[in-house]
Amino acid sequence: MTSENIQHLAAMIIYMLAVVCIGIYFAKRANKNAESYFLGGRSLGPWVAAFSAEASDMSGWLLMGLPGLAYWTGLADAGWTAIGLFVGTYLNWLIVSKRLRRYSTRLDAITIPGFFSKRFHEKKKLILTVSSLFIIIFFTVYAGQCLASCGKLFMNLFGLGYHQMMIIAAVFVLFYTFLGGFLAESASDFMQAVVMIIALVVIFLLAILNAGGLGAVIDNAKSYDGFFSLLKTATPSTETVNTFGAGKSFSILSIASAFAWGLGYFGMPQVLLRFMGIRSEKELTRSRRVACIWLFIAMGAALMIGVVGRSVPDINYLSNAEAENIFIDTATRFLPPILAGFACAGILAASISSSDSYLLISTSALAENVYHGIVKKNATDKEVMWVSRISMALITVIAMIIAWDSNSTIFGITSFAWAGFGATFGPLMLFSLFWKRTTYAGALAGMISGGAMVFFWKLVLNGRGGIFDIYCLLPAFIVSAIVIVVVSLCGKKPAGEIAADYDAVAANKQ
Protein backbone atom coordinates (compact mmCIF):
# COMPACT_ATOMS: atom_id res chain seq x y z
CA MET A 1 0.00 0.00 0.00
CA THR A 2 1.46 3.39 -1.02
CA SER A 3 1.75 6.43 1.24
CA GLU A 4 -1.16 7.99 -0.65
CA ASN A 5 -3.29 4.93 0.05
CA ILE A 6 -2.39 5.12 3.72
CA GLN A 7 -3.55 8.75 3.86
CA HIS A 8 -6.79 7.84 2.06
CA LEU A 9 -7.37 5.06 4.54
CA ALA A 10 -6.54 7.24 7.56
CA ALA A 11 -9.11 9.84 6.51
CA MET A 12 -11.78 7.19 6.05
CA ILE A 13 -11.00 5.55 9.39
CA ILE A 14 -11.38 8.91 11.13
CA TYR A 15 -14.72 9.34 9.43
CA MET A 16 -15.91 5.83 10.32
CA LEU A 17 -14.90 6.34 13.95
CA ALA A 18 -17.00 9.49 14.06
CA VAL A 19 -19.98 7.51 12.77
CA VAL A 20 -19.46 4.80 15.41
CA CYS A 21 -19.24 7.43 18.16
CA ILE A 22 -22.62 8.76 17.10
CA GLY A 23 -24.04 5.25 17.33
CA ILE A 24 -22.61 4.76 20.82
CA TYR A 25 -23.92 8.15 21.98
CA PHE A 26 -27.48 7.35 20.94
CA ALA A 27 -27.41 3.66 21.93
CA LYS A 28 -28.94 4.15 25.38
CA ARG A 29 -31.80 6.32 24.10
CA ALA A 30 -32.38 4.04 21.12
CA ASN A 31 -32.75 0.90 23.24
CA LYS A 32 -35.26 2.48 25.60
CA ASN A 33 -38.20 0.94 23.73
CA ALA A 34 -39.31 -0.08 20.23
CA GLU A 35 -40.62 3.39 19.32
CA SER A 36 -37.29 4.96 20.25
CA TYR A 37 -35.35 2.35 18.27
CA PHE A 38 -37.49 2.45 15.12
CA LEU A 39 -38.68 6.10 15.09
CA GLY A 40 -36.51 8.00 17.57
CA GLY A 41 -39.45 8.92 19.78
CA ARG A 42 -40.62 11.43 17.16
CA SER A 43 -37.88 13.84 18.24
CA LEU A 44 -36.12 14.87 15.00
CA GLY A 45 -35.44 18.56 14.45
CA PRO A 46 -36.18 20.16 11.04
CA TRP A 47 -32.57 20.22 9.81
CA VAL A 48 -31.85 16.65 10.90
CA ALA A 49 -35.12 15.45 9.36
CA ALA A 50 -34.34 17.15 6.04
CA PHE A 51 -30.68 16.19 5.76
CA SER A 52 -31.18 12.62 6.96
CA ALA A 53 -34.12 12.10 4.58
CA GLU A 54 -32.06 13.16 1.57
CA ALA A 55 -28.84 11.42 2.62
CA SER A 56 -30.60 8.12 3.30
CA ASP A 57 -32.48 8.43 0.03
CA MET A 58 -29.62 9.33 -2.30
CA SER A 59 -27.06 6.68 -1.26
CA GLY A 60 -23.95 5.93 -3.36
CA TRP A 61 -26.15 6.40 -6.42
CA LEU A 62 -25.73 10.17 -6.09
CA LEU A 63 -21.91 10.16 -6.09
CA MET A 64 -21.36 7.22 -8.41
CA GLY A 65 -24.49 6.21 -10.34
CA LEU A 66 -25.68 9.64 -11.49
CA PRO A 67 -22.24 11.05 -12.47
CA GLY A 68 -21.49 7.76 -14.22
CA LEU A 69 -24.68 7.91 -16.28
CA ALA A 70 -24.05 11.57 -17.18
CA TYR A 71 -20.48 10.74 -18.24
CA TRP A 72 -21.62 7.81 -20.35
CA THR A 73 -24.60 9.17 -22.31
CA GLY A 74 -24.71 12.89 -21.52
CA LEU A 75 -27.35 15.19 -20.09
CA ALA A 76 -30.63 13.73 -21.33
CA ASP A 77 -31.20 10.56 -19.31
CA ALA A 78 -29.40 11.71 -16.17
CA GLY A 79 -30.80 15.24 -16.47
CA TRP A 80 -34.47 14.30 -16.79
CA THR A 81 -34.06 11.79 -13.99
CA ALA A 82 -32.62 14.51 -11.73
CA ILE A 83 -35.43 16.92 -12.66
CA GLY A 84 -38.03 14.28 -11.90
CA LEU A 85 -36.43 13.51 -8.56
CA PHE A 86 -36.35 17.16 -7.57
CA VAL A 87 -40.01 17.71 -8.46
CA GLY A 88 -40.95 14.51 -6.63
CA THR A 89 -39.03 15.57 -3.54
CA TYR A 90 -40.70 18.98 -3.42
CA LEU A 91 -44.22 17.57 -3.86
CA ASN A 92 -43.64 14.83 -1.31
CA TRP A 93 -42.57 17.31 1.37
CA LEU A 94 -45.34 19.73 0.37
CA ILE A 95 -48.27 17.32 0.07
CA VAL A 96 -47.53 14.18 2.05
CA SER A 97 -45.37 15.17 5.02
CA LYS A 98 -47.81 17.06 7.26
CA ARG A 99 -50.77 14.78 6.69
CA LEU A 100 -48.66 11.66 7.33
CA ARG A 101 -47.13 13.13 10.51
CA ARG A 102 -50.60 13.94 11.83
CA TYR A 103 -52.19 10.67 10.76
CA SER A 104 -49.40 8.41 12.06
CA THR A 105 -49.44 10.20 15.43
CA ARG A 106 -53.19 9.73 15.78
CA LEU A 107 -52.88 6.01 14.96
CA ASP A 108 -49.69 5.57 17.02
CA ALA A 109 -47.95 4.02 14.00
CA ILE A 110 -44.15 3.77 14.03
CA THR A 111 -43.58 1.94 10.72
CA ILE A 112 -45.03 2.32 7.23
CA PRO A 113 -46.69 -1.14 7.21
CA GLY A 114 -48.02 -0.35 10.67
CA PHE A 115 -49.51 2.89 9.40
CA PHE A 116 -51.29 1.18 6.50
CA SER A 117 -52.59 -1.56 8.79
CA LYS A 118 -53.94 0.85 11.40
CA ARG A 119 -55.28 3.22 8.75
CA PHE A 120 -57.76 0.52 7.65
CA HIS A 121 -58.21 -1.04 11.10
CA GLU A 122 -57.47 -4.48 9.69
CA LYS A 123 -57.94 -7.57 11.82
CA LYS A 124 -56.37 -10.30 9.67
CA LYS A 125 -53.13 -8.30 9.22
CA LEU A 126 -52.91 -8.97 5.48
CA ILE A 127 -51.82 -5.43 4.60
CA LEU A 128 -49.28 -5.56 7.42
CA THR A 129 -47.85 -8.84 6.19
CA VAL A 130 -47.81 -8.07 2.46
CA SER A 131 -46.34 -4.58 2.86
CA SER A 132 -43.68 -5.93 5.21
CA LEU A 133 -42.70 -8.58 2.66
CA PHE A 134 -42.41 -5.99 -0.12
CA ILE A 135 -40.24 -3.81 2.12
CA ILE A 136 -37.92 -6.73 2.87
CA ILE A 137 -37.64 -7.66 -0.83
CA PHE A 138 -36.95 -4.21 -2.23
CA PHE A 139 -34.82 -2.92 0.62
CA THR A 140 -32.62 -5.99 0.43
CA VAL A 141 -31.98 -5.07 -3.21
CA TYR A 142 -31.34 -1.48 -2.16
CA ALA A 143 -28.91 -2.55 0.55
CA GLY A 144 -27.09 -4.60 -2.08
CA GLN A 145 -26.63 -1.44 -4.15
CA CYS A 146 -25.07 0.33 -1.17
CA LEU A 147 -22.67 -2.54 -0.50
CA ALA A 148 -21.73 -2.56 -4.20
CA SER A 149 -20.87 1.15 -3.89
CA CYS A 150 -18.58 0.46 -0.95
CA GLY A 151 -16.96 -2.47 -2.73
CA LYS A 152 -16.25 -0.42 -5.86
CA LEU A 153 -14.96 2.47 -3.76
CA PHE A 154 -12.34 0.40 -1.91
CA MET A 155 -11.45 -1.64 -4.98
CA ASN A 156 -10.76 1.52 -6.98
CA LEU A 157 -9.11 3.44 -4.18
CA PHE A 158 -6.83 0.76 -2.74
CA GLY A 159 -6.63 -1.80 -5.52
CA LEU A 160 -8.08 -4.43 -3.20
CA GLY A 161 -10.55 -7.20 -3.98
CA TYR A 162 -14.13 -6.10 -4.59
CA HIS A 163 -15.74 -8.96 -2.68
CA GLN A 164 -13.53 -8.69 0.40
CA MET A 165 -14.13 -4.95 0.63
CA MET A 166 -17.87 -5.35 0.21
CA ILE A 167 -17.96 -7.86 3.07
CA ILE A 168 -15.99 -5.54 5.36
CA ALA A 169 -18.38 -2.68 4.53
CA ALA A 170 -21.37 -4.92 5.30
CA VAL A 171 -19.94 -5.90 8.70
CA PHE A 172 -19.32 -2.26 9.60
CA VAL A 173 -22.82 -1.13 8.59
CA LEU A 174 -24.36 -4.04 10.47
CA PHE A 175 -22.40 -3.27 13.64
CA TYR A 176 -23.22 0.42 13.46
CA THR A 177 -26.96 -0.08 12.89
CA PHE A 178 -27.07 -2.55 15.79
CA LEU A 179 -25.90 0.18 18.12
CA GLY A 180 -28.19 3.13 17.83
CA GLY A 181 -31.27 2.54 15.72
CA PHE A 182 -33.21 5.38 14.11
CA LEU A 183 -31.83 8.26 16.18
CA ALA A 184 -28.20 7.33 15.58
CA GLU A 185 -28.94 6.71 11.94
CA SER A 186 -30.65 10.09 11.52
CA ALA A 187 -27.95 12.01 13.41
CA SER A 188 -25.15 10.41 11.41
CA ASP A 189 -27.13 10.96 8.21
CA PHE A 190 -27.11 14.67 9.01
CA MET A 191 -23.32 14.65 9.21
CA GLN A 192 -23.09 12.49 6.12
CA ALA A 193 -25.34 14.82 4.12
CA VAL A 194 -22.92 17.65 4.93
CA VAL A 195 -19.94 15.53 3.85
CA MET A 196 -21.68 14.51 0.63
CA ILE A 197 -22.59 17.99 -0.55
CA ILE A 198 -19.18 19.48 0.31
CA ALA A 199 -17.42 16.65 -1.52
CA LEU A 200 -19.63 17.02 -4.60
CA VAL A 201 -19.20 20.78 -4.89
CA VAL A 202 -15.43 20.68 -4.30
CA ILE A 203 -14.85 17.91 -6.86
CA PHE A 204 -17.08 19.66 -9.39
CA LEU A 205 -15.12 22.94 -9.09
CA LEU A 206 -11.73 21.22 -9.20
CA ALA A 207 -12.75 19.18 -12.25
CA ILE A 208 -13.79 22.35 -14.11
CA LEU A 209 -10.49 24.06 -13.30
CA ASN A 210 -8.45 21.08 -14.49
CA ALA A 211 -10.55 20.70 -17.63
CA GLY A 212 -9.70 24.23 -18.77
CA GLY A 213 -12.73 26.12 -17.46
CA LEU A 214 -16.46 25.98 -17.99
CA GLY A 215 -16.27 27.24 -21.56
CA ALA A 216 -13.88 24.50 -22.60
CA VAL A 217 -16.07 21.89 -20.91
CA ILE A 218 -19.19 23.05 -22.75
CA ASP A 219 -17.40 23.21 -26.10
CA ASN A 220 -16.06 19.70 -25.64
CA ALA A 221 -19.45 18.34 -24.56
CA LYS A 222 -21.11 19.88 -27.61
CA SER A 223 -18.60 18.19 -29.89
CA TYR A 224 -20.15 14.81 -29.08
CA ASP A 225 -23.46 14.39 -30.87
CA GLY A 226 -26.31 14.40 -28.37
CA PHE A 227 -24.11 14.62 -25.28
CA PHE A 228 -25.01 18.18 -24.22
CA SER A 229 -28.72 18.02 -25.03
CA LEU A 230 -31.88 17.18 -23.11
CA LEU A 231 -33.56 16.02 -26.32
CA LYS A 232 -30.85 13.65 -27.63
CA THR A 233 -28.68 11.02 -25.99
CA ALA A 234 -25.09 10.19 -26.89
CA THR A 235 -23.91 6.76 -28.08
CA PRO A 236 -20.37 6.19 -26.77
CA SER A 237 -18.09 3.51 -28.14
CA THR A 238 -17.17 0.59 -25.90
CA GLU A 239 -13.93 0.03 -27.78
CA THR A 240 -12.36 3.48 -28.30
CA VAL A 241 -12.30 6.16 -25.60
CA ASN A 242 -14.21 9.41 -26.21
CA THR A 243 -15.52 8.16 -29.53
CA PHE A 244 -19.21 8.52 -30.27
CA GLY A 245 -21.63 7.43 -32.95
CA ALA A 246 -24.60 9.49 -34.06
CA GLY A 247 -26.75 10.68 -31.19
CA LYS A 248 -30.21 9.20 -30.72
CA SER A 249 -33.41 11.15 -30.18
CA PHE A 250 -34.56 11.24 -26.55
CA SER A 251 -38.27 10.85 -27.18
CA ILE A 252 -41.24 12.08 -25.17
CA LEU A 253 -41.65 8.52 -23.96
CA SER A 254 -38.04 8.50 -22.75
CA ILE A 255 -38.51 11.85 -21.01
CA ALA A 256 -41.65 10.55 -19.28
CA SER A 257 -39.75 7.43 -18.28
CA ALA A 258 -36.88 9.37 -16.71
CA PHE A 259 -39.15 12.01 -15.16
CA ALA A 260 -41.24 9.23 -13.60
CA TRP A 261 -38.46 8.66 -11.07
CA GLY A 262 -40.09 11.47 -9.10
CA LEU A 263 -43.18 9.33 -8.48
CA GLY A 264 -41.04 7.01 -6.39
CA TYR A 265 -40.81 9.46 -3.51
CA PHE A 266 -44.43 8.97 -2.48
CA GLY A 267 -43.59 5.38 -1.56
CA MET A 268 -40.06 5.65 -0.11
CA PRO A 269 -40.17 4.36 3.51
CA GLN A 270 -36.81 5.93 4.45
CA VAL A 271 -38.16 9.38 3.54
CA LEU A 272 -41.70 8.87 4.84
CA LEU A 273 -40.34 7.80 8.24
CA ARG A 274 -38.65 11.21 8.59
CA PHE A 275 -42.06 12.83 8.16
CA MET A 276 -43.39 10.60 10.93
CA GLY A 277 -40.36 11.12 13.17
CA ILE A 278 -40.10 14.92 13.16
CA ARG A 279 -40.86 16.48 16.55
CA SER A 280 -43.45 18.97 15.27
CA GLU A 281 -45.64 19.17 12.19
CA LYS A 282 -45.02 22.91 12.07
CA GLU A 283 -41.31 22.36 11.40
CA LEU A 284 -41.93 20.44 8.19
CA THR A 285 -42.09 23.64 6.12
CA ARG A 286 -38.52 24.53 7.08
CA SER A 287 -37.45 20.94 6.47
CA ARG A 288 -38.92 21.06 2.97
CA ARG A 289 -36.93 24.16 2.06
CA VAL A 290 -33.70 22.76 3.48
CA ALA A 291 -34.19 19.41 1.72
CA CYS A 292 -34.93 20.97 -1.66
CA ILE A 293 -31.95 23.34 -1.53
CA TRP A 294 -29.63 20.49 -0.55
CA LEU A 295 -30.96 18.27 -3.32
CA PHE A 296 -30.72 20.98 -5.99
CA ILE A 297 -27.06 21.67 -5.21
CA ALA A 298 -26.08 18.01 -4.72
CA MET A 299 -27.73 16.62 -7.84
CA GLY A 300 -26.60 19.56 -9.95
CA ALA A 301 -22.98 19.04 -8.90
CA ALA A 302 -23.19 15.26 -9.38
CA LEU A 303 -24.66 15.64 -12.85
CA MET A 304 -22.02 18.13 -13.93
CA ILE A 305 -19.15 16.00 -12.58
CA GLY A 306 -20.12 13.42 -15.17
CA VAL A 307 -20.30 16.02 -17.95
CA VAL A 308 -17.02 17.66 -16.96
CA GLY A 309 -15.37 14.25 -16.73
CA ARG A 310 -15.40 13.95 -20.53
CA SER A 311 -13.04 16.96 -20.67
CA VAL A 312 -10.63 15.88 -17.94
CA PRO A 313 -7.34 14.58 -19.45
CA ASP A 314 -6.45 10.91 -18.92
CA ILE A 315 -9.81 9.95 -17.39
CA ASN A 316 -11.38 7.49 -19.81
CA TYR A 317 -13.88 4.67 -19.47
CA LEU A 318 -15.27 2.09 -21.89
CA SER A 319 -18.45 1.10 -20.04
CA ASN A 320 -21.12 2.61 -17.85
CA ALA A 321 -19.97 0.43 -14.95
CA GLU A 322 -16.44 1.84 -15.24
CA ALA A 323 -17.76 5.39 -15.57
CA GLU A 324 -19.31 5.13 -12.11
CA ASN A 325 -15.76 5.63 -10.77
CA ILE A 326 -15.56 9.19 -12.14
CA PHE A 327 -16.05 10.82 -8.70
CA ILE A 328 -13.35 8.67 -7.10
CA ASP A 329 -10.86 9.23 -9.90
CA THR A 330 -11.29 13.01 -9.95
CA ALA A 331 -10.97 13.18 -6.16
CA THR A 332 -7.73 11.20 -6.05
CA ARG A 333 -6.32 13.06 -9.04
CA PHE A 334 -6.95 16.66 -7.95
CA LEU A 335 -6.87 16.61 -4.15
CA PRO A 336 -4.04 15.96 -1.67
CA PRO A 337 -4.29 12.32 -0.49
CA ILE A 338 -5.71 13.07 2.96
CA LEU A 339 -8.39 15.37 1.51
CA ALA A 340 -9.13 12.86 -1.24
CA GLY A 341 -9.75 10.33 1.50
CA PHE A 342 -12.28 12.64 3.13
CA ALA A 343 -13.91 13.36 -0.25
CA CYS A 344 -14.26 9.65 -0.95
CA ALA A 345 -15.69 9.32 2.53
CA GLY A 346 -18.63 11.09 0.88
CA ILE A 347 -19.33 7.85 -1.01
CA LEU A 348 -18.92 5.91 2.19
CA ALA A 349 -21.23 8.44 3.85
CA ALA A 350 -23.86 8.02 1.18
CA SER A 351 -23.68 4.24 1.27
CA ILE A 352 -23.73 3.98 5.05
CA SER A 353 -26.52 6.53 5.46
CA SER A 354 -28.69 4.58 3.06
CA SER A 355 -27.82 1.00 3.95
CA ASP A 356 -28.40 1.54 7.67
CA SER A 357 -31.81 3.06 6.83
CA TYR A 358 -32.66 0.15 4.56
CA LEU A 359 -31.59 -2.47 7.09
CA LEU A 360 -33.40 -0.77 9.95
CA ILE A 361 -36.66 -0.39 8.02
CA SER A 362 -36.48 -3.96 6.65
CA THR A 363 -35.93 -5.44 10.07
CA SER A 364 -38.61 -3.27 11.63
CA ALA A 365 -40.98 -4.76 9.06
CA LEU A 366 -40.06 -8.26 10.24
CA ALA A 367 -39.66 -7.65 13.97
CA GLU A 368 -42.31 -5.02 14.73
CA ASN A 369 -44.89 -5.81 12.06
CA VAL A 370 -44.64 -9.58 11.50
CA TYR A 371 -43.19 -10.94 14.76
CA HIS A 372 -44.81 -8.50 17.19
CA GLY A 373 -47.90 -7.76 15.12
CA ILE A 374 -48.76 -11.31 14.08
CA VAL A 375 -46.57 -14.10 15.50
CA LYS A 376 -46.28 -12.99 19.15
CA LYS A 377 -48.47 -10.04 20.01
CA ASN A 378 -47.37 -9.99 23.66
CA ALA A 379 -43.66 -9.83 22.78
CA THR A 380 -41.61 -7.44 24.90
CA ASP A 381 -39.67 -4.54 23.41
CA LYS A 382 -36.45 -6.40 24.21
CA GLU A 383 -37.61 -9.45 22.26
CA VAL A 384 -38.66 -7.30 19.30
CA MET A 385 -35.28 -5.60 19.15
CA TRP A 386 -33.40 -8.91 19.29
CA VAL A 387 -35.53 -10.34 16.49
CA SER A 388 -34.75 -7.14 14.59
CA ARG A 389 -31.00 -7.63 14.96
CA ILE A 390 -31.08 -11.28 13.93
CA SER A 391 -33.18 -10.38 10.89
CA MET A 392 -30.75 -7.60 10.06
CA ALA A 393 -27.85 -10.03 9.86
CA LEU A 394 -29.78 -12.37 7.54
CA ILE A 395 -30.87 -9.54 5.24
CA THR A 396 -27.29 -8.26 5.07
CA VAL A 397 -26.11 -11.66 3.86
CA ILE A 398 -28.75 -11.68 1.11
CA ALA A 399 -27.81 -8.10 0.14
CA MET A 400 -24.18 -9.20 -0.28
CA ILE A 401 -25.29 -11.99 -2.62
CA ILE A 402 -27.22 -9.45 -4.73
CA ALA A 403 -24.17 -7.17 -4.92
CA TRP A 404 -21.70 -9.99 -5.67
CA ASP A 405 -21.41 -9.17 -9.38
CA SER A 406 -18.87 -6.34 -9.60
CA ASN A 407 -19.89 -5.57 -13.20
CA SER A 408 -23.49 -4.65 -12.35
CA THR A 409 -24.23 -0.91 -12.39
CA ILE A 410 -25.28 0.94 -9.26
CA PHE A 411 -27.81 2.89 -11.33
CA GLY A 412 -29.40 -0.33 -12.59
CA ILE A 413 -29.78 -1.91 -9.14
CA THR A 414 -31.22 1.32 -7.74
CA SER A 415 -33.78 1.75 -10.51
CA PHE A 416 -35.42 -1.61 -9.81
CA ALA A 417 -35.74 -1.12 -6.04
CA TRP A 418 -36.90 2.48 -6.53
CA ALA A 419 -39.65 1.35 -8.91
CA GLY A 420 -40.69 -1.35 -6.46
CA PHE A 421 -41.28 1.05 -3.60
CA GLY A 422 -42.78 3.78 -5.74
CA ALA A 423 -45.40 1.49 -7.30
CA THR A 424 -46.13 -0.62 -4.21
CA PHE A 425 -46.53 2.15 -1.64
CA GLY A 426 -46.76 5.44 -3.57
CA PRO A 427 -50.37 5.29 -4.85
CA LEU A 428 -51.54 3.65 -1.62
CA MET A 429 -49.93 6.38 0.49
CA LEU A 430 -51.56 9.16 -1.54
CA PHE A 431 -55.01 7.54 -1.54
CA SER A 432 -54.76 6.63 2.16
CA LEU A 433 -54.00 10.22 3.08
CA PHE A 434 -56.29 12.08 0.71
CA TRP A 435 -59.18 9.86 -0.43
CA LYS A 436 -61.68 8.93 2.26
CA ARG A 437 -63.38 6.42 -0.06
CA THR A 438 -60.30 4.15 -0.14
CA THR A 439 -61.27 0.73 1.20
CA TYR A 440 -59.32 -2.05 2.82
CA ALA A 441 -59.78 -4.29 -0.22
CA GLY A 442 -58.75 -1.47 -2.56
CA ALA A 443 -55.60 -0.79 -0.53
CA LEU A 444 -54.55 -4.44 -0.50
CA ALA A 445 -55.29 -4.98 -4.20
CA GLY A 446 -53.52 -1.77 -5.23
CA MET A 447 -50.39 -2.58 -3.26
CA ILE A 448 -50.10 -6.12 -4.64
CA SER A 449 -50.85 -5.08 -8.23
CA GLY A 450 -48.26 -2.28 -8.12
CA GLY A 451 -45.49 -4.51 -6.79
CA ALA A 452 -46.36 -7.38 -9.14
CA MET A 453 -46.44 -5.08 -12.17
CA VAL A 454 -42.87 -3.91 -11.45
CA PHE A 455 -41.64 -7.49 -11.69
CA PHE A 456 -43.80 -8.32 -14.72
CA TRP A 457 -42.83 -5.19 -16.67
CA LYS A 458 -39.14 -5.44 -15.80
CA LEU A 459 -38.69 -9.17 -16.35
CA VAL A 460 -41.21 -9.92 -19.12
CA LEU A 461 -42.14 -6.80 -21.10
CA ASN A 462 -39.07 -4.60 -20.84
CA GLY A 463 -36.73 -4.85 -23.81
CA ARG A 464 -39.43 -5.53 -26.40
CA GLY A 465 -39.10 -2.00 -27.77
CA GLY A 466 -41.47 0.95 -28.01
CA ILE A 467 -43.67 1.62 -25.00
CA PHE A 468 -42.36 -1.52 -23.28
CA ASP A 469 -38.96 0.15 -22.78
CA ILE A 470 -40.46 2.78 -20.49
CA TYR A 471 -39.26 2.74 -16.89
CA CYS A 472 -41.37 0.13 -15.07
CA LEU A 473 -42.27 2.54 -12.26
CA LEU A 474 -44.63 4.57 -14.46
CA PRO A 475 -46.94 1.79 -15.73
CA ALA A 476 -46.86 0.02 -12.35
CA PHE A 477 -47.78 3.26 -10.52
CA ILE A 478 -50.68 3.85 -12.90
CA VAL A 479 -51.94 0.26 -12.58
CA SER A 480 -51.81 0.42 -8.78
CA ALA A 481 -53.76 3.71 -8.72
CA ILE A 482 -56.43 2.38 -11.08
CA VAL A 483 -56.85 -0.83 -9.08
CA ILE A 484 -57.22 1.09 -5.80
CA VAL A 485 -59.97 3.28 -7.28
CA VAL A 486 -61.87 0.50 -9.05
CA VAL A 487 -61.81 -1.99 -6.17
CA SER A 488 -62.67 0.71 -3.63
CA LEU A 489 -65.67 1.91 -5.64
CA CYS A 490 -66.93 -1.66 -5.92
CA GLY A 491 -67.15 -1.99 -2.15
CA LYS A 492 -68.95 -0.20 0.65
CA LYS A 493 -67.79 3.18 1.88
CA PRO A 494 -65.48 3.04 4.93
CA ALA A 495 -67.41 3.83 8.08
CA GLY A 496 -67.03 3.89 11.86
CA GLU A 497 -63.55 4.47 13.28
CA ILE A 498 -61.88 4.46 9.85
CA ALA A 499 -64.01 7.38 8.68
CA ALA A 500 -63.68 9.12 12.05
CA ASP A 501 -59.89 8.94 11.92
CA TYR A 502 -59.83 10.33 8.38
CA ASP A 503 -62.18 13.21 9.25
CA ALA A 504 -60.18 14.12 12.34
CA VAL A 505 -56.89 14.20 10.44
CA ALA A 506 -58.45 16.17 7.56
CA ALA A 507 -59.74 18.68 10.12
CA ASN A 508 -56.14 19.09 11.43
CA LYS A 509 -56.66 17.09 14.60
CA GLN A 510 -54.37 14.35 15.92
Q: What is the pLDDT of residues 218-259, one digit of tens each?
A: 998 899 999 999 999 999 988 888 788 888 999 899 999 999
Q: Is the pLDDT of residue 375 over 80?
A: no
Percent of all residues in the chain with a pLDDT value above 90, rounded to a whole number:
33
pLDDT band at 486; cut points 50, 70, 90: very high
Q: Is the pLDDT of residue 157 over 90?
A: no
pLDDT of residue 500: 93
Element (H, E) at 44: none
Q: Is the pLDDT of residue 89 over 90?
A: yes
pLDDT of residue 185: 62
- Are 30 and 375 spatial neighbours (Cβ–Cβ below 8 Å)? no
Mean pLDDT of the chain: 83
Q: Which of the pair, 28 or 121, is modelled with greater confidence?
A: 121
Residue 227 CA to residue 245 CA, distance in Å, equals 11
Report the candidate in 332, 323, 345 with the shortest Cα–Cα distance to residue 199.
345
Report the candidate in 350, 29, 362 with the shortest Cα–Cα distance to residue 183.
29
SS3 percent helix, strand, coil of the chain, rounded to 5, is 80, 0, 20
pLDDT of residue 114: 85
pLDDT of residue 5: 76
> Strand 232-233 to strand 248-249: parallel, antiparallel, or no bridges (unpaired)?
antiparallel
pLDDT of residue 286: 93
Minimum mean pLDDT range among 51-65, 360-374, 408-422, 483-497:
360-374
The set of residues, in sequence order, having a beta carbon less than 8 Å from that of 30 and lying 6+ positions away, is 36, 37, 40, 179, 180, 181, 182, 183, 184
- pLDDT tens readout for residues 170-207: 777 777 666 555 556 666 777 778 888 888 899 999 88
Helices (H), 403-472: 410-434, 440-456
pLDDT of residue 23: 62
